[in-house]
Amino acid sequence: MIDYKKQINKKVTISGFAEKVRNLQWVQFIVLRNEGKRIQVTIEKSEEKNREMTLIVDKLTNESTITVTGVIKENENVKLGGLELIPDSIKVTSISDKELPISITNKGASQIDTRMDNRFIDLRNDANFYIFKIQTEFIRAMRQYLYENDFTEIHTPKLIAAASESGSEVFEVDYFKNKAYLAQSPQFYKQMAIAAGYERVFEVAPCFRAENSNTNRHATEFTSFDLEFANINSYEDVMAVEEELLVAGLTAVKEKYGDLIKEIYGVDVVVPTIPFPRIKLQDLYKELSERYGYKVPSHDVGDMNAETEKLTSRFAMEKYGHEFIFVTDFSKTKRAFYHMRKDDVPQGYDLIWKGTEITTGAQREHRYDVLEKQASEKGLGEDIKFYKNFFKYGCPPHGGFGLGIDRLTMLLLNLPSLKETMFLFRGPNRITP
Ligand code: AMO
């Protein structure tokens, strides 16, 4: 992208949206927007050479697209960075309807659903536009960390024959007169990669959950940053990788976008210190009860609910001054059958950030006999035989985690919900555009 300040007195060609066209008596102004950057185009009507351009701008509507060639000049009277583009030519590449269905600048003027219906326009608002610039940097830095640590990228199927997480939350697909399902996670296949001899793998891909819940943090399709690696001693090794990964991501985001995030979203990006605090679920319950008088409802005992997560972050801030906290030692009845157990306690964790779970991770059960026992305890049988077979012919101890990147971005930028965060949200009542 052109740095306009470095192009003063030089000839440039800039394409973009005519964000605001102002046609005054002696002069015309266009605010030209390209990738979130703006420059004023100034056309003096009195100059003979501008005659043709003036006629073009006469008919130009806001949000039409244009390509402008001209020279960038310094002008301290111009509010937009003290620069203006004096054009030699303006080419109109598309004309926008005069009335837009939503306001770009005033988000509050339309209901969230109307904005979602018109997401392609909604995203032209800076606060929305930059979400994906920032997310790209976050993911880039995390990928970079994995490349540097010899992780292999895999792409696992999203059409599957058996539910990987739990039966009830799976979308069924008609598959040539048979049943198939949309993958809830790459869980089985990232473990298959370990059985195949890849020591470290990752995947960034969609997950589908038929959860009929209308919360700010649930989508029916989301993107998960999944990884799995072999030859670990315990889930502590998994947590250590996740800490480093998040530090890599947040360091890069702070460096590139820290000031912009502060300006647009009012958020200070904090690069966390390592190690993150850790707490066992039972100790956490005790702290929440003593500090905030909070008792976990009986149906959630052994697990976390939204309220517990919120208070857990409050506790982490108060006790450790830390935005992140790992919670361990969940009840086996609330955890997946593939988590390794030690003394009946699942060897896994949830990571909570700013009041919301962003990750589940664990050491996996790689011993065939034990795995089979745990699977049948949960009522899983024939349909996961193919998965159990992965552990029959040699498979090293391993573990991994799934990090929901939509939640990660929502929390990073302090956005109120996934509807505002995701490029296109999918929920029980939303499957368009
Ligand atoms: P889990 O089901 O906890 O674990 O999902 C991992 C992470 O994915 C995100 N997430 C969601 N984001 C948006 N909408 C949803 N409906 C949704 N559901 C989950 C969260 C969550 O922490 N296979 C395991 C991971 C593993 O052990 O490797 C799994 O899928 O950020």
SS (H, E, C) 368-418: HHHHHHHHHHCCCCHHHHHHHHCCCCCCCCEEEEEEEHHHHHHHHCCCCCH
Residue 428 lies in a domain: no
> Does 370 lie in the same domain as 233?
yes
Q: Does 219 sit in the ligand 1 pocket, CB within 6 Å?
A: yes
Residue with tokens 């605090």: 277
User: By alpha-carbon position, which residue is closest to atom 24 of ligand 1?
Assistant: 402
Domain CATH number, residue 339: 3.30.930.10
> Does 228 lie in the same domain as 323?
yes
Q: Does 64 sit in the ligand 1 pocket, CB within 6 Å?
A: no
Residue with tokens 């790992």: 326
Q: Does 211 sit in the ligand 1 pocket, CB within 6 Å?
A: yes
User: By alpha-carbon position, which residue is closest to atom 12 of ligand 1?
Assistant: 404
> Does 133 lie in the same domain as 83?
no
> Does 40 lie in the same domain as 135?
no
For residue 186, CA distances in Å to 28, 54, 143, 258, 380 come to: 55, 57, 17, 32, 18
Residue 178 lies in a domain: yes
> Does 192 lie in the same domain as 66?
no
Which residues partner with 27 through β-bridges?
44
**How close is the Cα of 224 to the center of ligand 1, in Å?**
7
Residue 99 lies in a domain: no
Q: Which amino acid is at 48?
A: E
> Does 378 lie in the same domain as 337?
yes
Q: Does 374 sit in the ligand 1 pocket, CB within 6 Å?
A: no
**What pLDDT score was predicted for residue 163?**
78
Residue 332 lies in a domain: yes
Using alpha carbons, select from 349, 365, 402 the residue that is nearest to residue 239: 349
> Does 134 lie in the same domain as 85?
no
Atom index in ligand 1 nearest the CA of residue 187 equals 23
**How close is the Cα of 361 to the center of ligand 1, in Å?**
9
Domain CATH number, residue 64: 2.40.50.140
Domain boundary among 94, 113, 132: 94
Radius of gyration of the chain (CA): 26
Atom index in ligand 1 nearest the CA of residue 361 equals 27
**What pLDDT score was predicted for residue 364?**
98
Q: Does 222 sit in the ligand 1 pocket, CB within 6 Å?
A: yes
Q: Does 406 sit in the ligand 1 pocket, CB within 6 Å?
A: yes
User: By alpha-carbon position, which residue is closest to atom 26 of ligand 1?
Assistant: 401
> Does 269 lie in the same domain as 173?
yes
pTM above 0.75, yes or no: yes
**pLDDT < 50 positions in the chain:** none
Atom index in ligand 1 nearest the CA of residue 213 equals 16
> Does 352 lie in the same domain as 245?
yes
CA distance 80 to 72: 13
Q: Does 16 sit in the ligand 1 pocket, CB within 6 Å?
A: no
Residue 107 lies in a domain: no
Sequence-ordered list of residues with C-beta below 8 angstroms from that of 297, at least 6 positions apart, any chain: 305
Q: Does 361 sit in the ligand 1 pocket, CB within 6 Å?
A: yes
Atom index in ligand 1 nearest the CA of residue 400 equals 28
User: By alpha-carbon position, which residue is closest to atom 15 of ligand 1?
Assistant: 218
Coil/strand/helix, residue 336: coil
Q: Are 56 and 40 in contact (CB under 8 A)?
A: no
> Does 290 lie in the same domain as 245?
yes
Q: Are 64 and 92 in contact (CB under 8 A)?
A: yes
**How close is the Cα of 221 to the center of ligand 1, in Å?**
11
**Which DSSP helix (H) or strand (E) runs through 255?**
helix 235-265
**What pLDDT score was predicted for residue 165?**
76
Q: In terms of residue numbers, what domain contains 362?
A: 121-421
Nearest-10 Cα torsion for 389, 392, 396, 399: 30
Sign of CA dihedral 252, 253, 254, 257: positive
Q: Does 218 sit in the ligand 1 pocket, CB within 6 Å?
A: yes
**What pLDDT score was predicted for residue 381?**
83
Residue 106 lies in a domain: no
**How close is the Cα of 52 to the center of ligand 1, in Å?**
57
> Does 195 lie in the same domain as 66?
no
**How close is the Cα of 167 to the center of ligand 1, in Å?**
15
Q: Does 187 sit in the ligand 1 pocket, CB within 6 Å?
A: yes
**How close is the Cα of 404 to the center of ligand 1, in Å?**
6
**How close is the Cα of 272 to the center of ligand 1, in Å?**
22
**How close is the Cα of 309 to the center of ligand 1, in Å?**
15
Coil/strand/helix, residue 323: coil
User: By alpha-carbon position, which residue is closest to atom 22 of ligand 1?
Assistant: 359
Supply φ then ψ for residue 277, to 5 degrees: -60, 150
Q: Is the peptide bond before 101 cis (omega within 30 degrees of 0)?
A: no
Residue 431 lies in a domain: no
Residue 430 lies in a domain: no
CA distance 80 to 37: 10
CA distance 93 to 233: 60
From 220, 224, 246, mutation site for ligand 1 pocket: most ligand atoms within 8 A of C-beta: 224
Q: Does 156 sit in the ligand 1 pocket, CB within 6 Å?
A: no
**What pLDDT score was predicted for residue 275?**
98
> Does 214 lie in the same domain as 164?
yes
Domain count, the chain: 2
**What pLDDT score was predicted for residue 1?**
67
